[in-house]
Each structure stands twice: as structure tokens, then as C-alpha cells.
Amino acid sequence: MPMLTPWEAAYEVGDPLIDAQHRALLSLCDVLGARCQAAEGDGATAAEDADPVFDRTFDSLKSLARGHFEVEAERLAPLGDEALEDHRFECDEFEYLVEQIATTENFTRVEIQRFLALWCLGHVRSAIDQHVALTLALARERALGQRG
């Protein structure tokens, strides 16, 4: 059974572009889930059962994630090298997992969809903490600038 990832207002970080990208990532997870449900209804269960729509959607999610990571890196720059290093590690980990591990050679499409749903939800939730840290850093920077 696929894992659905409905958008919740609590996921918003207040940056319209980041929020739109997060919403789109979760939406693509749900499209993948719908493809899995359709395949289950058709009796398809084997990893080798072709589903070009699933595969194209998965490719779209990977492409969106890569572009999204670039935007996040720009937004995180004021937090310094440590935040950017953590972010780069997360990006590299995602890239490795989706290209080397979460493949139809290793897992069923339902398992891949569940992994993506969990990964994207975790990413969206961690972005809330990053946004709080960024907001505090920018406020501190403004306060110091007003004093000097």
C-alpha cells in the first residue's frame, strides 16, 4: 500500500518558492502512490512490470528535488558553512539513494514510493527548523547592523 503525503499548512516555512517546491514534491509522491494503487488494481506486483508513467514521474521528482536543493542552498547561505555542508550532505545522500539504491532493480515501485514519501516528508519537516534558524540569523544580523 502506498503512503500518501497530503500537504498541511504546518509544513509552510513562509518562503513562497520553497513552500511551492515542497508542495510539488509531496504532490509527486502522491502521483507515484496513485500509480502504485492503479497497478495493484490491475494485478501488477512484480518490480519488472513496466510503468512508464511512474518512471517519468519519478524522474520529474528527482529533477524537481535537484533544482529545489539549489534554491535551498541559496537561502541557507547566511547561516554559514556548517549549514551549507549539512545541506550538501543531504543532497548527496538523496542523489545516491535515488540513483543507486531506490531502483526497480532493488525494490518494487510501491517500496520506492514509500521511501520517497518518507524522505520528502522528513525533508519538508526539517526545512521548518532550518527556516527558524535562518529567520533568527537574519534578525540578529539586522539588529547588529542597526547598532553599528
- Give the pLDDT band (50/70/90) at residue 50: confident
pLDDT in tens, 20-41: 999 999 999 999 999 999 887 7
User: Residue 79 gets which letter from DSSP?
Assistant: G
pLDDT at 147: 66
- Name the residue among 124, 65, 52 with its Cα closest to residue 96: 65
pTM above 0.75, yes or no: yes
pLDDT in tens, 66-77: 999 999 999 888
Q: How many CA atoms lie within 13 A of 94 on its CB side?
A: 22
**Interatomic CA distance for residues 55 and 48, integer angstroms:** 12
Residue for grid cell 526497480: 104
pLDDT in tens, 87-140: 999 999 999 999 999 999 999 999 999 999 999 999 999 988 877 777 777 777
For the chain, the domains span 12-147
- In this structure, the chain runs to a length of 148
